[in-house]
Amino acid sequence: MIAFVVRRLLQSILVLLAVGFIAFSLFTYVGDPINNMVGQDTTLAQRAELRERLGLDDPFVVQYGRFLLNAAQGDFGISYRHRRPVAQLIAERVPATLELSLVAAALALFIGVPMGVYTGLHRRGFLSQVFLALSLIGISLPTFLIGILLILVFGVLSQDINAAIGFHLVPQLPTFGRGDTVQLGWWSTGFLTESGLLALILPSITLALFQMTLIMRLVRSEMLEVLRTDYIKFARARGLSNRAVNFGHALKNTLVPVITITGLQLGSIIAFALITEQVFQWPGMGLLFIQAISEVDIPVMAAYLMLVGFFFVVINLVVDLLYYVVDPRLRADKAVAAGHQ
Amino acid sequence: MFGQRVMSVRRSVLAAAAAVGIAAGGAGAAAETFKWAFQGDVQTLDPHGLFETFTLGFQSNFYEGLVTRTPDLQLQPALAISWENVEPTVWRFTLRQGVTFHNGNPFNADDVLFSVDRIRTEGSDLKVVATLIDKAVKVDDYTVDIVTPQPDPILPLQLEIFFIMDKEWSEQHGTTEATNIRGDDQGNYANLNANGTGPYVVKERQPDVRTVLVPNPDWWGDNKSNVSEGIFTPIGQDATRVAALISGDVDMAHPVPVQDWKRLEDANGVSPLTGPEARTIFLGFDQDRDELLYSSMKGKNPFKDQRVRQAFYQAIDMEAIKDKIMRGASTPSNLMFAPEINGFNPALNERLPYDVDKAKALLAEAGYADGFTVTMDCPNDRYVNDERICQAVASMLARIGVKIDLLAQTKSKYFAKVLAQNGYDTSFYLLGWTPSTFDAHNAIVSLMACRVDGKGSFNLGGYCNERVSELSDLIQVETDPEKRQALIDEASRIHADEVGHIPLHQQPLSWGVSDRVTVAQRPDDIFHLQYVTVK
Residue B191 sits at the chain A interface (C-beta within 8 Å): yes
Give the integer Cα–Cα distance in Å for B347 and B486: 12
Among the listed residues B266, B268, B237, B242, the one whose alpha carbon sits nearest the alpha carbon of residue B256? B242
Nearest 5°: the CA angle B231, B233, B237 is 155
- Interface contact B415-A35, CB threshold 8 A: yes
Contact: B236, A83; criterion CB under 8 Å: no
Answer whether A38 sits within 8 Å of B239, measured CB to CB. no
Q: Do B51 and A30 touch (CB under 8 A)?
A: no
* A231-241: pLDDT as tens digits: 888 888 888 88
**Residue A27: closest C-alpha in chain B:** B413
Task: Report the distance separating Cα B54 and Cα B456, nearest Å.
Answer: 25
Kindly determine whether residue A83 and residue B180, on different chains, have CB atoms separated by under 8 Å: yes
* Spatial separation of the C-alpha atoms in residues A34 and A32, rounded to whole Å: 6
Q: Do the chains contact at B243 and A152, CB–CB below 8 Å?
A: yes
Whether the per-residue pLDDT at A185 is higher than 90: the answer is no
Per-residue pLDDT of chain B (535 residues; tens, 9 = 90+): 333 333 333 334 334 444 433 333 333 445 799 999 998 888 889 999 888 888 899 999 999 999 999 998 889 999 999 999 999 999 999 999 999 999 999 999 999 999 999 999 888 888 888 888 999 999 999 999 999 999 998 899 889 999 999 999 999 998 888 887 655 555 578 988 999 999 999 999 988 889 999 999 999 999 999 999 999 999 988 999 999 999 899 999 999 999 899 889 988 899 999 988 999 999 999 999 999 999 999 999 999 999 999 999 999 999 999 999 998 989 999 999 999 999 999 999 999 999 999 999 999 999 999 999 999 999 988 899 999 999 999 999 999 999 999 999 988 889 888 988 788 999 999 999 999 888 999 999 999 999 988 788 899 999 999 999 999 999 998 988 999 999 999 999 999 999 999 999 999 999 999 999 999 999 888 999 999 999 8
User: Radius of gyration of chain A from Cα atoms?
Assistant: 25
CA distance B67 to B467: 33
Q: Does A84 touch chain B (CB under 8 A)?
A: yes
pLDDT band at A150 (very low <50, low <70, confident <90, very high): very high
Q: Please judge whether A35 and B40 are an interchain contact, meaning their C-beta atoms are less than 8 angstroms apart.
A: no
Partner-chain contact B43 A82, CB within 8 Å: yes
Within 255-314 of B, beta carbons closer than 8 Å to A belong to: 267
Widest Cα–Cα separation across chain B: 83
- Choose, out of B125, B240, B245, B268, the residue to mutate when testing the contact with A (most A CBs < 10 Å): B240
Alpha-carbon span B226 to B31, nearest angstrom: 8
B76 - beta bridge partners?
B68
Q: Mutation test of the interface with chain B: which of A28, A41, A88, A146, choosing the one with the most B Cβ atoms within 10 A?
A: A41
Best residue of A92, A281, A300 to probe chain B, by most B CBs closer than 10 Å: A281
Judge whether B485 and B343 are in contact, CB under 8 Å. Answer: yes
A40 touches chain B (CB under 8 A): yes
Q: Which residues of B touch A30 (CB under 8 A)?
A: 412-413
**Which DSSP state fits B83?**
E
Domain with CATH 3.10.105.10 in chain B: 277-508
A302, A303, A304, A308 alpha-carbon torsion, rounded to 10°: 110
CA dist., res. A262 & res. A103, Å (int): 14
Asked if A295 lies within 8 A of B412 by C-beta distance, the reply is yes
Contacts of B301 (CB under 8 A, 6+ apart): B286, B287, B289, B290, B291, B292
- CB–CB of B210/B80 below 8 Å? no
Q: What is the DSSP string of B40-70?
A: S----S-TTT---HHHHHHHTTT--BSEEE-
Is A175 in Cβ contact with B436 (below 8 Å)?
no
**CATH for B277-508, options being 3.10.105.10, 3.20.20.80, 3.30.360.10, 3.30.460.80:** 3.10.105.10
Question: Who has greater pLDDT, A186 or A330?
Answer: A186
d(CA B152, CA B133): 10
8 Å CB contact of A30 and B412:
yes
Q: What is the dihedral of CA B50, B54, B55, B56, to 10 degrees?
A: 80
Cα angle A39-A42-A43, degrees, rounded to a multiple of 5: 155
Residues of A in contact with B435 (CB under 8 A): none
SS3 of B429, please?
Answer: strand
Question: Torsions phi, psi of A189, nearest 5?
Answer: -120, 145
Beta strands in B39-184 (DSSP E): 67-69, 75-77, 80-87, 90-95, 135-140, 143-147
Determine the Cα–Cα distance for residues B392 and B159; give it in Å rounded to an integer: 39
The whole-angstrom distance between A78's CA and the closest CA on chain B is 7
> What does the DSSP 8-state code read for residue B148?
-
Specify whether the CB–CB gap between B303 and B368 falls below 8 A.
no
Rg from Cα positions in chain B: 25
**B316 and B307 in contact (C-beta within 8 Å)?**
no
Taking the alpha carbons at both ends of chain B, their separation in whole angstroms is 15
User: Phi then psi for B99, rounded to 5 degrees?
Assistant: -90, 140
Q: Which amino acid is at A243?
A: R
Query: Do residues B318 and B396 make contact, with C-beta atoms less than 8 angstroms apart?
Result: no
The partner residues of B408 in beta bridges, in order of sequence, read: B378
Chain A residues with CB under 8 Å of B383 CB are none
Topology of domain B2-17+28-237+516-534 in CATH is: D-Maltodextrin-Binding Protein; domain 2 (3.40.190)
Contact check, Cβ <8 Å, B210/A288: no
Interface check for A70 against chain B (CB to CB < 8 A): the answer is: no
CA atoms within 13 A on the CB side of B12: 26
Please report the number of interchain residue pairs, chain A to chain B, with beta-carbon separation below 8 angstroms. Answer: 150
Element (H, E) at B407: strand B403-409
Phi and psi at residue B274, in whole multiples of 5°?
A: -125, 155
Reference B504, options B313, B314, B332, B286; nearest CA is: B332
Distances (CA, A) of A243 to A117, A239, A251, B91, B406: 12, 11, 10, 90, 66
Q: Which of B210, B416, B420 sits opposite A31 (nearest CB)?
A: B416
Label the pairing between strands B270-285 and B428-433.
antiparallel
Comparing CA positions, the residue from B504, B510, B4 lying closest to residue B283 is B504
Grouping H, G, I as helix, E, B as strand and the rest as coil, residue B329 is: coil
Give B240 to chain A, closest Cα distance, Å.
6
Is B210 an 8 Å CB contact of chain A? yes
Using an 8 Å CB-CB cutoff, list chain A residues near B209: 177-178, 283
User: Which tops the pLDDT comparison, B127 or A107?
Assistant: A107
For residue A334, the model assigns a pLDDT of 54
pLDDT of res. A267: 84
pLDDT at B404: 96
For B379, the enclosing helix (H) or strand (E) is strand B373-379
Q: Does B419 reach chain A within 8 Å, measured CB to CB?
A: yes
Q: Inter-chain contact B247–A31, Cβ cutoff 8 Å? A: no
Contacts of B36 in chain A (CB under 8 A): none
SS (H, E, C) chain A: CHHHHHHHHHHHHHHHHHHHHHHHHHHCCCCCCHHHHCCCCCCHHHHHHHHHHCCCCCCHHHHHHHHHHHHHCCCCCECCCCCCEHHHHHHHHHHHHHHHHHHHHHHHHHHHHHHHHHHHHCCCCHHHHHHHHHHHHHHHCCHHHHHHHHHHHHHHCHHHHHHHHCCCCCCCCCCCCCCCCEEECCEEECCCCHHHHHHHHHHHHHHHHHHHHHHHHHHHHHHHHHHCCHHHHHHHHCCCCHHHHHHHHHHHHHHHHHHHHHHHHHHHHHHHHHHHHHHCCCCCHHHHHHHHHHHCCHHHHHHHHHHHHHHHHHHHHHHHHHHHHHCHHHHHHHHHHHHHC
For domain A2-339, say whether CATH 1.10.3720.10 is its number.
yes
Give CATH 3.40.190.10 domain extents, chain B.
2-17+28-237+516-534
Q: What is the dihedral of CA A144, A146, A152, A158, to 10 degrees?
A: -150
Average pLDDT, integer, range A73-99: 88
Q: Does B85 touch chain A (CB under 8 A)?
A: no
Cβ distance A148 to B239 less than 8 Å, yes or no, reads: yes
Residue B359 distance to chain A (closest CA, Å): 34
Cβ pair A32:B420 closer than 8 A: no
Q: B205 touching A, CB under 8 A? A: no
Chain A: residue whose CA lies nearest to B245: A156
Cα nearest neighbour of B207 on chain A = A82
Residue in A with minimal Cα distance to B433: A40
B452 interfaces chain A, CB cutoff of 8 Å: no
Asked if the C-beta of B407 comes within 8 angstroms of chain A's C-beta atoms, the answer is no
**Residue in A38, A43, A83 to test binding to B, most B beta-carbons within 10 Å:** A83
